Amino acid sequence: MIPNIKTWYAIYTKSRNEKKVSSLLAEQDIEHYLPLVKKIRQWSDRRKTVEEPLFSSYIFVHITEKEHLPVCKRREWLSSFPLNAGKSLYVMSR
């Protein structure tokens, strides 16, 4: 990681907590992205359009090295930062 330069990282959330984590990140003014898709769900008595995460259990955060550790410590909603060769998985931006 490069200090003081924001980089996009994938974080792995607890199962089915993506929207809650998104809300908590927004409250803390942490830039993040949760891609959602609309799907029609069928129940026995009705149909409903719901928004579901495009990538189950993943949210993307745009943070600096300084912000990395405080985000990592949020264990009540964060499972882990996915690792690649022992380093946090960052996402290339164009």
Q: Report yes or no: 32 and 84 within 8 Å, Cβ to Cβ.
A: no
| Domain-wise residue ranges, the chain | 7-83
Pick the CATH number of 7-83 from 3.30.980.20, 3.30.70.940, 3.40.50.1860, 3.10.129.10: 3.30.70.940
pLDDT in tens, 75-84: 666 666 665 5
Structure tokens at 17: 């907590």
Residue bearing tokens 């410590």: 73
Whether 36 has a pLDDT exceeding 90, the answer reads yes
Q: Determine which of 41-45, 51-55, 75-79 has the lowest per-residue pLDDT on average.
A: 75-79
Say what percent of the chain tops pLDDT 70: 70
Q: Is the pTM of this model over 0.85?
A: no
